[in-house]
Structure formats: C-alpha cells, structure tokens
A and B are shown apart, each in its own frame.
Chain A
Amino acid sequence: MNATIETNNLVKRYGDVTAVDGLSLRVARGEIYAFLGLNGAGKTTTIRLLLGMVRPTSGEARVLGTRIRVGDKKPWDSVGYMVETPDAYPELSVRENLEAMRRLRPGAEPKAVERVIERLGLIAYADRRAGTLSHGNAQRLGLAKALLHNPKLLILDEPANGLDPAGIVEIRNLLIELAQDQGVTVFMSSHILGEVSRLAKRIGIIHQGRLLQELDVDELERNRRRRLVVRTRDGQAAQSVLLSAGFSADITSDGAIEVKDDAAIERPDDIATRLVHAGHAPTMLNVEQEDLEQYFLRLVARSVDEGNAK
C-alpha cells in the first residue's frame, strides 16, 4: 500500500451537527495534498480525526499504514503537525518551546532545535519569549515544532496564515523542497485556492463536511471556465451583432461583452472579423480564465444548489 493517508467513509458528528460526512480520501507518499474549504467546512475536524484527537462516529483513518485510534502512540514519531492556531507556551522562549517539544519526541536529536531555528528564520527571535512574537513568527515557531524530528508526513492546518508575502513564498519553497528532496508527504488545509494551486499536486475540496471534488492541479486548469471578453465603442450594438450570430453574449457590470461559447473562445479572431465587418471594431479582445476563487465558489454554490434540490 502506497498511501500515506487513507480515510474510508469517515464521519464525525457532534450531536446533530455533522462536521465530517463520509470522507474518503487518499494521499500518496511524497505528495503535497491541499485540503480546501471555507471556514467551518470540516477541514480542522478532519485533521483532528487524522491525528487521533477525536474519535470518528464511523469509518476509519489510516496514517502511514497505522489505523488511527484515539490515544495511541503510533505513528506519531513520523508525523509533524500544526492544528488551527500556532500556539506556544508564552513564558518560554522560542528555543525553550522547541526544546520542550524535542524532549517529548524521543527520536529528535539535540541539534534539531538549532537546525529548525535556522531553517525557519528564527535566529533573531530564538531567546525571545513566545508570548511576544508577531503572528507571522508564531506561525514559523509552529512550523518549526512540526519539523523538529524530520517527519515523513506533515499535517498542517492553514500553514500560510499570518505570514507576509515573502514568508508565504519562503514556506511554500520549503514545503516543495521537503516533498521533492526528502519525499515528505504534506497534507495541508487552506481556504485560499490561489495559494495552494501553486504548491499542491492534488487538491481535495470539502464543503459542509463532504468531499466535493478531488483533482490534480492540471485537471483544475482544465476545469476552470474560460470566457472571451470584448470591448467596443458601442457595447450594446456589438452585443446585438454577436447575439444575431448565435453567440451568448452578455454585458458585464463594467460594460464589457462576455462570450462563453467554445467557438468564440477557441477562435477569437473570427469574432474580431465579424465585429469589424459590422462596423464595431474591438478596442480590446481577451480570452480570460476563470479566477481560482470564482471556480471554488462556483463549485461550492453548485453543491449547495444540489443539496437544496434534494
């Protein structure tokens, strides 16, 4: 079996609330898997289920080949994690927080603390009390704790939270390097599709506890809708020309014409020719791909509509 994480029909209910609903997913070794969803979609509950912090109502999760049971010690010597907010003991320094965590991980060598301090860019803050760190540096400390023992699997809840743009790029490169060079599997949650699409190989989209879609990044590119955006000096007249030619042309809120027909997207030059002949030469013609966030929201909205229809 090559899956680092595998869940089968995982369900978690709190009273009447179903936080995770029949989740089956598979994360291969060395893969960066992004788990995407809005706030409250069930991402953190899934992570807690994977880490044995909460007991599933039904179904099962396997991590590194071990069936997860609440309170078990396996397989945590090979797993690094960060759940929700990156909290630390406020009165302990960054170095002491890491040393405390290192001692609770018997496999981690004494030098590991200095190694992760350097790797996460925390040298200047090593002796500073954790309670005085900025949100970004607290996030770095959380990631440093997860990396202390050279884990085979990283489970990270919103790892880019609180980081500045340079920090986001730095952490992204670090995770890519870990996956590519050391074969570390990364399972990360996020609510920003644009962010994870630059990093993850595979994306799972969760909404209201259900896995809506699981796809490769290449598939994501293909699934995103494209449209042709046209501007002319007289938008309404140009729209009439396109409508009479059988295209579904709409005027957008900023006055441009939007055409979604494949024929128009594949051959925008034909549209230009048609408009020129009608006396409405385009001042702008552009094939645009659907924004990642729009794609994500469209998928979520479709799921809500389907749910309502049922």
Chain B
Amino acid sequence: MNNIAQAIWVEMLKARRSKMPLLTALGFSLFPLALGFFMIVLKDPELARRYWLISAKAQIMMGVADWPTYLRFLALASAMGGFMLFGFIGSWVFGREYSDRTVKDLLALPTSRSAIVLSKFVVVASWSTALTAMNCLVGLGVGAAVGLPQASMQVILQGEVTVAIATCLTIALVTPIAFFASAGHGYLPPMGVALLVMFLVQVIAQAGWGEYFPWSIPALYAQGDNLGIVSYVIVFLTSVAGLAGTFIWWELADQTH
C-alpha cells in the first residue's frame, strides 16, 4: 500500500476546504452547552422559572448539579449524539465521492484503492478524535463557567476519561457507515442507516439486550454499566467488519458511478 502519506494529504485538503469541520465542531459544542444550561437550571430551578428559562411545569430529572452528574451526561450525549455526528463525517468523507461523481477519478491510479480508503478512515478518525478533544475541553470550560461545585481533580479526570472512552467506542462504530456510504453511492443511505441504528438502540436497550447491540454499548459504558468483555469484543468486531466491508467494496465491486 504505497503513497499513503500523499493520499492522506489529499483527503485532509478536501476536508479543510469544506465547511464540514466547522459545522461538526459547532454541532459537537452543543452537547456541553446544552448540559451547562441544564446544570444552571438544576442549581436553582426557581430562578430558572422566574427568568423563563424553563416553564412552570418543567421537571428536570437529571439529579444534582455537580461535576460527576454533568460529566456522566456529557459522556452519554457524546455517545448517542456523537454517533450521528461521526456518522455524518463518515458519510461525507466516503459518500461525497459518489454524490460529486469524483469516485471514478480515484479508481485507476498508481495509488491503490486501499490506500485511498485507508486515508479516508485516517481522516474520519483524526477529525472525530479532534472533536472529542474539543468536546472534553469545552466540557471543562462550560462546567467551570456555570459554577459547578468544587470537585476533586480525580473526579473530574475520571469523568473526562469516561467521556473520551465512550466517544472513542462510538468512533469505532462508524466504519459500517463508511461501507453504506460506498455501497449506497452517496450521503443519504448511510444517514438513513444511522437513524435506523439510533431507533434500534432505543428499542434494544429497553428490551434489556443493549450490552449485545454494538451501538448501545458506548451509551451503557457512559452510564457506568458494568459491561463484560463480550461487549467490547462486539464493538471491535463490528468496527473490523465495517472496515473490511469498505475495503472489499472499493477493491472488488463494480464501480459504475
């Protein structure tokens, strides 16, 4: 697999020139900002009602306004909402070649198709990891700005690690989205799959089988559930299946777009 560095440079250029990094960064910032809002409300619900931040009937069932609660919900939001955002990145990086009809220019080159696919995954992973880092930092900033009660460094660090791991588990589960973007020839099929997955997460989690459904696992981890090794193996295998499917599709399927 040659010329991988150049292929990554090309993918980075495409990402940099698009509006997607900005849009996804804004999208991801909403999680800590929204949670910060709820923390303000939780700290003083009466004040929030007086200033019309919430209606008189609103019942916020999140618990108390402190760092562990805030970071637990941030991890949960990053695991659930993160999947849609990372899925959007994966759909764009792979699906745009079909929607813009540029894929044909990537298929008969001295740079192998596998190098191009790998460079796309590298960009999706780097981009998603950068968003995760930003999410952790913005989370800290928002938590401090809303004046959450003092907590030990260890509590905050533990909460941040949970956010980071839950998000990384989510990133690993985006690879099947890349496959559906490639096999579905565009953005829409993979986004449809992502929505279906989100629906199934709700149903399967309610049925009590969440620890065996790959896309439920990051949320269960974020909530502090005691997951067995099987759950992590399922995430790993799903990720590998998505990677393998995408590579095989690009290398072997008829490319008629």
Residues of A within 8 A of B (CB): 48, 51-55, 70-71, 73, 76-77, 79, 81, 83-85, 87-92, 96, 99-101, 103-107, 145
B104 near A104: Cβ-Cβ < 8 Å: no
In the complex, which range does the number of interface residues on chain B fall in?
A: 20 to 34
B9 near A83: Cβ-Cβ < 8 Å: no
Question: Contacts A87-B100, A87-B105 known; A54 to B14 CB distance under 8 Å?
Answer: no
Partner of A90, one of B6, B7, B100: B100
Nearest first, the 5 A-B pairs at minimum CB distance are A103-B6, A77-B110, A71-B251, A87-B101, A54-B254
Residues of B within 8 A of A (CB): 2-3, 6-7, 9-10, 13-14, 17-18, 100-102, 104-113, 116, 250-252, 254-256
In angstroms, Cα B3 to Cα A53, docked, is 20
A contact patch SS: loop
A53 near B254: Cβ-Cβ < 8 Å: yes
Partner of A73, one of B10, B104, B112, B256: B112
Interface centre among B2, B108, B112, B254 (most CB of A within 10 A): B108
Q: Which residue of A lies closest to B251 (CB)?
A: A71
Question: Contacts A103-B9, A104-B7 known; A87 to B102 CB distance under 8 Å?
Answer: yes
Q: Which residue of A lies closest to B250 (CB)?
A: A71
B255 near A54: Cβ-Cβ < 8 Å: yes
B101 near A105: Cβ-Cβ < 8 Å: no
A89 near B109: Cβ-Cβ < 8 Å: no
Find chain A residues with CB under 8 A from B104 CB: 53, 83-84, 87
In angstroms, Cα B116 to Cα A103, docked, is 12
In angstroms, Cα B109 to Cα A145, docked, is 12
A70 near B102: Cβ-Cβ < 8 Å: no
CB A16 to nearest CB in B, in angstroms, measures 16
In angstroms, Cα B109 to Cα A79, docked, is 8
Question: Contacts A87-B101, A89-B14 known; A53 to B108 CB distance under 8 Å?
Answer: yes
B13 near A54: Cβ-Cβ < 8 Å: no
B102 near A88: Cβ-Cβ < 8 Å: yes
A106 near B3: Cβ-Cβ < 8 Å: yes
Find chain A residues with CB under 8 A from B251 CB: 70-71
Partner of A92, one of B17, B111, B112, B113: B17
Q: Which residue of B lies closest to A87 (CB)?
A: B101
A54-B256, A76-B109, A83-B104 are known; give 14 further A-B pairs, CB within 8 A. A53-B104, A53-B107, A53-B255, A53-B256, A70-B251, A70-B252, A71-B252, A73-B110, A96-B17, A100-B14, A104-B6, A104-B106, A105-B111, A106-B2
